[in-house]
Amino acid sequence: MTTIFSANLGYPRIGEKREWKKAIEAFWKGDIDDKSLKEQTKKLRLNNLKKQKEHGIDFIPVGDFSFYDHILDTAVSFNIIPERFNHHNPKDLSSYFAIARGETNAVAAEMTKWFNTNYHYIVPELKGTTPKLIENRALHYYEEAKEELNIDGKPVIVGPVTFVKLAKGYQESELESWVNRLLPLYEQILSELAAAGAKWVQIDEPILGTNLSEKELQLVEQVYQTIDNKVSGIQIILQTYFETVQHYERITALPVKGIGLDFVHGDNLALIEKFGFPSDKVLGVGIINGRNVWRADLEERYQLLQNIQQVANPETLVVQPSCSLLHVPVTKHLEEKLDPVVKDGLSFANEKLEELQSLTIALQEGKQSAEDAFKASVQAIANLDQSDYRSQAPAIARKDAKREVPFAERKKHQEATLKLPLLPTTTIGSLPQTQKVKRTRTKWRKGDISDQAYNEFIETETKRWINIQEDLDLDVLVHGEFERTDMVEYFGEKLKGFAVTEFGWVQSYGSRCVKPPLLVGNVEWEKAITVKEIAYAQSLTDKPVKGMLTGAVTILNWSFVHEGFPRFTVQDQIALALEKEVLALEEAGINIIQVDEPALREGLPLDRLKWPAYFDAAVNAFQLATSTVKPETQIHTHMCYSEFGEIYEAIDGLDADVISIETSRSHGEMVETFEKNDYKKEIGLGVYDIHSPRVPTLQELEANIKRALETIDVEQFWINPDCGLKTRNEAETIAALEKMVEAAKKARKEWAKETKETSRFDVLN
């Protein structure tokens, strides 16, 4: 008979009301010392463990906590510290945060997306480092949970192959060498955990859901055979998630005690039905969606568990989420303003623990033992399905969207209309959201100030920053987005079909948290969303002001979309709604409209075979939103962390007139990709990093511009920061932009000497 247990793979770090974020930011400001920070976060960490114990979780993860990012934690623990930070004591928090955020004389480490999620990790830099184990974090947190709460936890560590594959600073041919250099450190961690009494350890290898080569697969087999030979006394559950496991038979044959599979994403069920599962191994069944917030259909999930149990026949079955609950908010119980039908249909982290408990009990004791939970699940789902949110049929999107005038011709129209200088300068969109802005918005939402008073405040801030931008002598201005909380949540508040939460926060990067809207029903545009604020900003200046919108792909990827919706259909619905907003901006006299798609690369399936369908849908959605504008209207877009070479055709297919890419932490690497592609449209590679509080030097900016212009034609290049400036303070923002404009003007003078005639030469500054 199969033994049934429950497990969690990771818990949100941030706290119900973002207590973690507030403590860390207080430390950065110098309001608390590191002792106080550690005390506050320990209290939160232990409380998180208590919750999981109270919910009956058998295998409780420990070591999933972080002060910033778990990949950065692993790198620092292994002494993989970039040379420019070697003057720090590697055990100090100041060193740790410096790597993530940069400091006066050292740029921050690169940051990129964790697989196809909106969580960002700090990219380890292997070059020039000498790995050694500075701290066994997993052991520390295991012992803490045991001593403080009598919890015999399941330490969580990132596997060696995933860690090195996600790192940089080595040649592809050196992958095996680097994994083997780290392998003794993993052996030490595991041996010390075994000596301390740990029975299980969760080793995360999500890289197994990607298309590994035969050589890489052999490396995986070698790694776990070596660990099995050298480490005893502890059992490994090898955890995968986000996609179907590639090379299923060989992965399940690895010498580990358990395998965790995702039964929400991909099709691991088909593999188990075809190949079975080793009867002597533990099967971790990722049955509850760890990346979405909608209540599980317990009847359907229970039936799936029974089917898996019958075809797999493992000695032990563990009911668990599909991945760490890091990607969802903590609890829905704080939500007092949501429609009760929507709220009842939600399941955040704590509620997912309840669902795991109900399914585990049902498997152990029979479904009648969890009858109340099952009935509540069925009723909540039915109520949402029958609500007004689902009253209309999905819109049928056009499939032939395309700009009628080719780019070469559009460019002439746009140059005549905009009259921009060579190497035009701009920002990406948002400007600093000061505490005053946030407090005023909060007062307005609470009803403490009137709509009129709030609108007057927004206009005052907008006017002030238009003046600042003119004083800086930027060429294309922005209105600043002071009326917006978040680039996706704001549109979720305005478009029909969405709902928004008060406390539905999730970690995006470092202390930065976002509140994804809930996509509940069919999406429609009801009235102008951005026109009033942007048209007001344009009325204050003779320089062009960009209209700022978030694209359909990003809205979809950064929302919690109900699982019953066909994603590409919903994406097209959003695009058609945005098209109406684009045309409304154009009608209001806005000649530059930026439709941001920072999440386009992020949403790619891990399996490359699924890429073509994804790209086709993404390109179609962007063109649905933008293709009906006049030739003289310049369409911009912005993207984050895109490996340009991999998605070149899709980016070109968007047919945006100008694209900006967030690349300052890997600027040179991005420029190299242009040497392999003949991109004809205009482009801005972020010339400085806005995720770091440091102000770039003029020399750094000049070097980034010069490096880009070695490959990109001067007629194509725009100069801008690498992302929006919402999270930066005013002083550092103004100082950085001053330097950026100065660097741009110096570059123009240099090019004016070398260029006798360009289409913009007559309007050089």
pLDDT in tens, 182-205: 999 999 999 999 999 999 999 999
**Could you give the CA distance from residue 548 to residue 487 in angstroms, rounded to a whole number?**
9
Q: Can you list the pairs that 375-381 forms with residues at least 24 positions away whose Cβ atoms lie under 8 Å?
A: 377/295, 377/296, 377/297, 377/298, 377/299, 378/297, 378/298, 378/299, 380/295, 380/344, 380/345, 381/295, 381/297, 381/345
H/E stretch holding 150: none
- Confidence class for position 757, pLDDT limits 50, 70, 90: very low
Instruction: Render pLDDT for 204-238 as a digit per residue (tens, 0 to 9).
Output: 999 999 999 999 999 999 999 999 999 999 999 99
Q: How far is CA 398 from CA 175, 394, 404, 499, in A?
A: 46, 13, 15, 26
Share of the chain above pLDDT 90, in %: 78
Instruction: Give the pLDDT confidence score for residue 758 in this predicted structure.
Output: 46
Q: How far is CA 322 from CA 11, 205, 318, 627, in A?
A: 13, 13, 12, 38
H/E stretch holding 549: strand 546-550
Instruction: Give the pLDDT confidence score for residue 644 in this predicted structure.
Output: 64
**Could you give the CA distance from residue 748 to residue 423 in angstroms, rounded to a whole number?**
7
Instruction: Render pLDDT for 163-183 as a digit per residue (tens, 0 to 9).
Output: 999 999 999 999 999 999 999
Instruction: Give the pLDDT confidence score for residue 446 in this predicted structure.
Output: 87
**Could you give the CA distance from residue 669 to residue 653 in angstroms, rounded to a whole number?**
22
- Confidence class for position 641, pLDDT limits 50, 70, 90: low
Provide the b/e sequence for 423-450 (b: ≥16 CB within 10 Å). Answer: bbbbbbbbbbbeeebeebbeebeeeebe
> CA geometry: angle at 272 spanning 320 and 213, to 5°?
95
**Could you give the CA distance from residue 173 to residue 177 in angstroms, rounded to a whole number?**
8
Residue 606 has phi, psi (to 5 degrees) of: -70, -30
- Confidence class for position 668, pLDDT limits 50, 70, 90: low
Is the per-residue pLDDT at 764 higher than 50? no
**Could you give the CA distance from residue 68 to residue 162 in angstroms, rounded to a whole number?**
19
Q: 330-339, 454-463, 678-687: lowest mean pLDDT where?
A: 678-687
Is the per-residue pLDDT at 268 higher than 60? yes
710 φψ region: left (φ > 0), alpha (ψ -120 to 50), beta (else): alpha
Smallest CA-to-CA distance from 7 within 322, 347, 327, 319 is with 319
Mean pLDDT, range 22-50, rounded to an integer: 96
Mean pLDDT, range 123-135, rounded to an integer: 96
**Do you know the residue count of the chain?**
765
Map out the domains of the chain with their CATH numbers.
407-763 (3.20.20.210)
- Confidence class for position 94, pLDDT limits 50, 70, 90: confident
Handedness of CA 616, 617, 622, 625 (dihedral sign): positive
Q: Which amino acid is at 163?
A: F
Residue recorded with tokens 């032939």:
400
Under a CB-based contact definition with an 8 Å cutoff, are residues 240 and 158 in contact? no
Is the per-residue pLDDT at 650 higher than 80? yes
Is the per-residue pLDDT at 393 higher than 60? no
| Mean pLDDT for the chain overall | 92
Instruction: Give the pLDDT confidence score for residue 761 in this predicted structure.
Output: 41
**Binding site as annotated, residues:** 18-21, 113, 118, 428-430, 481, 512-513, 558, 596, 602, 638, 640, 662, 723
Question: Dmax of the chain from CA atoms?
Answer: 83
Q: 62-66, 155-159, 384-388, 700-704: lowest mean pLDDT where?
A: 384-388
User: What Rg, from alpha-carbon coordinates, does the chain have?
Assistant: 26
Residue recorded with tokens 């921050």:
108
Mean pLDDT, range 448-464, rounded to an integer: 94
**Could you give the CA distance from residue 491 to residue 314 in angstroms, rounded to a whole number?**
47
Is the per-residue pLDDT at 288 higher than 70? yes
Is the per-residue pLDDT at 387 higher than 60? yes
Q: Residue 546 has what DSSP assignment?
A: E
Under a CB-based contact definition with an 8 Å cutoff, are residues 266 and 607 in contact? yes
Instruction: Give the pLDDT confidence score for residue 391 in this predicted structure.
Output: 65
Instruction: Give the pLDDT confidence score for residue 426 in this predicted structure.
Output: 96
Question: Which residue stretches of 393-542 are H helix?
Answer: 407-418, 435-446, 451-472, 489-494, 531-539
Q: How far is CA 290 from CA 242, 329, 400, 648, 742, in A?
A: 9, 10, 36, 31, 47
H/E stretch holding 683: strand 682-685
Total-model pTM: 0.89
- Confidence class for position 389, pLDDT limits 50, 70, 90: confident
Is the per-residue pLDDT at 670 higher than 70? no
The DSSP-derived string for 284-327 is: EEEEE-TT--BPP-HHHHHHHHHHHHHHH--SEEEEEESS-GGG
H/E stretch holding 155: strand 154-158
Is the per-residue pLDDT at 144 higher than 50? yes
Under a CB-based contact definition with an 8 Å cutoff, are residues 121 and 70 in contact? yes
Residue recorded with tokens 């590679």:
685
Instruction: Give the pLDDT confidence score for residue 208 in this predicted structure.
Output: 97
Mean pLDDT, range 395-405, rounded to an integer: 72
The catalytic site residues sit at: 691
Q: Which residues contact 458 (CB under 8 A, 6 or more apart)?
A: 482, 483, 533
Under a CB-based contact definition with an 8 Å cutoff, are residues 246 and 208 in contact? yes
Q: 667-674 and 698-709 are packed helices; what angle lies between their axes, rounded to 10 degrees? A: 20
518-524/560-561 β-pairing: parallel
Instruction: Give the pLDDT confidence score for residue 359 in this predicted structure.
Output: 97
Q: How far is CA 210 from CA 216, 245, 247, 604, 643, in A?
A: 11, 8, 10, 11, 16
- Confidence class for position 292, pLDDT limits 50, 70, 90: very high
Instruction: Give the pLDDT confidence score for residue 674 in this predicted structure.
Output: 65
Smallest CA-to-CA distance from 61 within 200, 161, 189 is with 200
Is the per-residue pLDDT at 642 higher than 70? no
Instruction: Render pLDDT for 518-555 as a digit per residue (tens, 0 to 9).
Output: 999 889 999 999 999 999 999 999 999 999 999 999 99
